[in-house]
Each structure stands twice: as C-alpha cells, then as structure tokens.
C-alpha cells in the first residue's frame, strides 16, 4: 500500500502529559512560533489510521504529531491495531527520532519524607529500562518487518536513546516558570513498567509486586504508558521517552489518583510538557553517538533459510 501522508524525520506521539490540552495542542504551538501546516488521516494496511498533524517550527524544521499514541475515540487500541497503524505511518514517513511522553504512578519503595532520592510525584524521569508484562507488537504485519527475527534481532540495551535522554534532561531543567521536584536521568536506573491503553489502573497487588521487585533489583519501578520500544527499534527509530510522575502506584499511599491526575493534567501540566516537546523538536537532530541502530543486529542468511519458505501467492 502507498503511504499518502506527510514525511518528516522527527515525530511526537503526544500522550498523557499533554492530554489536558484536548485538541488544542496546535493553538499552544502557535504561541511558540510553530505552524500546523496540515492535518491528514492516512489509510494504512490495517485500516484508517489516526490523525497526523504536520508542523513547521521556528527554525524551519518540520515534524509530525500523532495525538495520544495513535489512539482513536471509542476504539480499543489492541482490537483496532492502533500501534501497528501508528508505526506503519511513522516508518513510511521516514521518522528517525520519535518522542513519547508518559505519566503515571511511582512504585518506589522509598517513600518516607527523608527519601530525597526517591522517584516521587512531581518528578521528571528518563527511565533506563523497561518491563513488558503485556504483549507488545514487535513487527509490522504484511510488510517485510512482519516477523524479521531470523534476519535481524533487536538488542534491548538502551531502549530509550541516551543522547536524546540528555537533550530532554537539559530541556526539562530550563522550562520557563516551572520546576520539577527532581529530574532522574538514566543513571538513576528507573524501570518503566510499560502499560498502554488499559481501561483501569494497576491493582494494589501489581503495585506491591513492582515495589518489591524494584527493591530487590535496586531499580525503582514506575508504571506508565509508552509505545513498544522493540517496534521502534525494528523500524529504525531512536526512541526519546520522558515520564512525569503523577501519583504513587494505586493503593501504595492513601491518595485518590484520579483527583491527583485530573489536577495535574488540567492545571499543573500540560503547557509545560507541550513547550518542552516543541522546544526539543525544534532543536534535535538524529544522534550519531548512540547505539540504537547498531543494536538492531543483522543475522546470518542461514537463519532465514532454516524456516519454511514463504507460501506461493
Ligand atoms: Zn539513539
């Protein structure tokens, strides 16, 4: 299938940090000198895709924005293959740097007032690694990336591009009129428990388990939304992921996460991450000092020949 949408090397999937802006991200962007050139709705091999906004920033750089991880109102993202549609679009559009933001709970075991270094609500996190407890897309069905394991394998060291994490860290430290309580870089070893598009929060048991395993491996765990790091790597993209800690994991502390989250999404945020994203996208270029592309390893041709041949069409 031919891709009929706009092309760019940079893209953002928006996400929960900018949720509170509703469909007005472009209005805030305009106040920062970014022009929304057009809005597209491309067809994909998996059905009609999400909206694709095409922007040009003050420096002349162009980027794409797909709102909220490619999700569509009233459609189950898994049932409607939203991650495949989104990545097919980004891949065909030639995207090399993909920015994704998330929010959600901290399951850090260090929760007393004296635990200064802990990952707490109000913090900004650049995770070091991730856990996958749900099935995640690892290829793009119907394309040469459908099941590419015999030809190439994604090594998942540095799932989140380190130079891009540095760029995000420095941006987060100089947002106008706002201070994150603390910024945790990759050296803090925070683990993202990837959780996308469920209709509920994690249960108390899940949070207790993440708290205990974090203590055991010496890496605090946060829960949060992020697209598949494997899919990003297989599609040849550098994944820049940032996380704003909104609340404690459900049940770990006597707080109501919906109240905390609504206040955060509607009031405290979302202009802060929106400005951070716009500034980042207008400045960043494809990193050359990371291993993101090298970590997608080619394999000997024998491996593919060891599988049954493709069925005759
Ligand atoms: Zn990279």
Number of other residues whose CB lies within 10 A of the CB of residue 30? 13
* CA 112 to centroid of ligand 1, rounded, Å: 36
The list of the chain residues with pLDDT below 70 reads 133-134
- Compute the distance between CA of residue 105 and CA of residue 117 in angstroms, rounded to an integer: 16
Q: By the 8 A CB rule, do 196 and 225 touch?
A: yes
The pLDDT of residue 18? 92
Cα 268 to ligand 1 centre (Å): 30
Centre of ligand 1 to C-alpha 289, Å, is 7
Q: Which residues of 181-217 are buried (b: 16+ CB within 10 A; e: fewer)?
A: ebbbbbebebbbbbbbbeeebbeeebbbbbbebbeee
Cα 164 to averaged position of ligand 1 atoms, centre (Å): 7
Residue carrying the six token digits 């909206």: 51
pLDDT tens-digit readout, 272-281: 999 999 999 9
Q: How far is the CA of 84 from the centre of ligand 1 (A)?
A: 21
pLDDT of residue 192: 96
* 286 C-alpha to ligand 1 centroid (Å): 8
What is the 60 CA–ligand 1 centroid distance (Å)? 23
CA of 159 to the centre of ligand 1 (A): 9
In this predicted structure, what is the pLDDT of residue 261? 76
pTM of the model: 0.94
User: What is the CA(128)–ligand 1 centre distance, in A?
Assistant: 13
* pLDDT on residue 150: 93
Quote the pLDDT of residue 140. 95
Residue 37 C-alpha to ligand 1 middle, in angstroms? 28
The pLDDT score that the predictor gives to residue 311 is: 87
**Residue pLDDT, tens place only, 271-305:** 899 999 999 999 999 999 999 999 999 999 999 99
Residue 89, both tokens: 């679009």
pLDDT value of position 186:
97
Whole-number Å distance, alpha carbon 95 to ligand 1 midpoint, is 13
HEC readout, the chain: CCCCCCCCCEEECCCHHHHHHCCCHHHHHHHCCCEEEEEECCEECCEECCCEEEEECCCCCEEEECHHHHCCCCCCCCCCCHHHHHHHHHHHCCCCEEEEEEEEEECCCCCCCCCCCCCCCCCEECCCEEEECCCCCCCCCCCCCCCCCCCEEECCCCCCCHHHHHHHHHHHCCCCCCCCCCEECHHHCCEEEECCCCCCCCCHHHHHHHHHHHHHHCCCEEEECCCCHHHHHHCCCEEEEEEEEEEECCCCCCCCHHHHHHHHHHHHCCHHHHHHHHHHHCCCCCCCCCCCCCCEEECCHHHHHCCCCCCCC
CA 194 / ligand 1 centre spacing (Å): 19
């Amino acid at each position: 299938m031919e891709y009929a949408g706009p092309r760019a090397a940079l893209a953002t999937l928006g996400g929960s940090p900018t949720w509170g802006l509703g469909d007005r991200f472009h209005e805030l962007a305009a106040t920062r000198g970014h022009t929304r050139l057009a809005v597209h709705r491309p067809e994909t091999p998996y059905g009609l895709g999400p909206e694709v906004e095409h922007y040009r920033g003050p420096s002349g750089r162009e980027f794409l924005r797909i709102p909220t991880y490619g999700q569509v109102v009233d459609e189950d993202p898994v049932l409607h293959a939203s991650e495949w549609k989104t990545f097919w679009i980004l891949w065909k559009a030639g995207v090399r740097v993909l920015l994704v933001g998330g929010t959600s709970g901290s399951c850090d075991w260090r929760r007393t007032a004296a635990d200064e270094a802990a990952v707490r609500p109000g913090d900004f996190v650049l995770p070091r690694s991730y856990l996958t407890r749900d099935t995640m897309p690892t290829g793009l069905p119907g394309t040469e990336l459908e099941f590419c394991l015999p030809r190439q394998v994604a090594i998942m060291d540095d799932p989140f591009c380190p130079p891009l994490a540095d760029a995000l860290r420095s941006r987060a430290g100089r947002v106008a009129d706002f201070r994150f309580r603390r910024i945790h870089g990759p050296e803090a070893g925070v683990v993202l428990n990837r959780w996308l598009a469920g209709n509920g929060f994690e249960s108390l048991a899940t949070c207790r388990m993440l708290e205990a395993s974090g203590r055991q491996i010496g890496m605090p765990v946060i829960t949060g939304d992020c697209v598949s790091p494997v899919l990003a790597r297989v599609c040849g993209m550098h994944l820049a992921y940032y996380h704003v800690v909104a609340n404690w994991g459900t049940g770990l502390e006597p707080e109501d996460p919906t109240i905390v989250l609504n206040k955060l999404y509607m009031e405290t945020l979302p202009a802060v991450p929106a400005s951070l994203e716009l500034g980042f996208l207008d400045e960043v270029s494809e990193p050359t000092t990371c291993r993101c592309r090298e970590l997608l390893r080619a394999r000997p041709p024998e491996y593919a020949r060891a599988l049954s041949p493709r069925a005759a069409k």
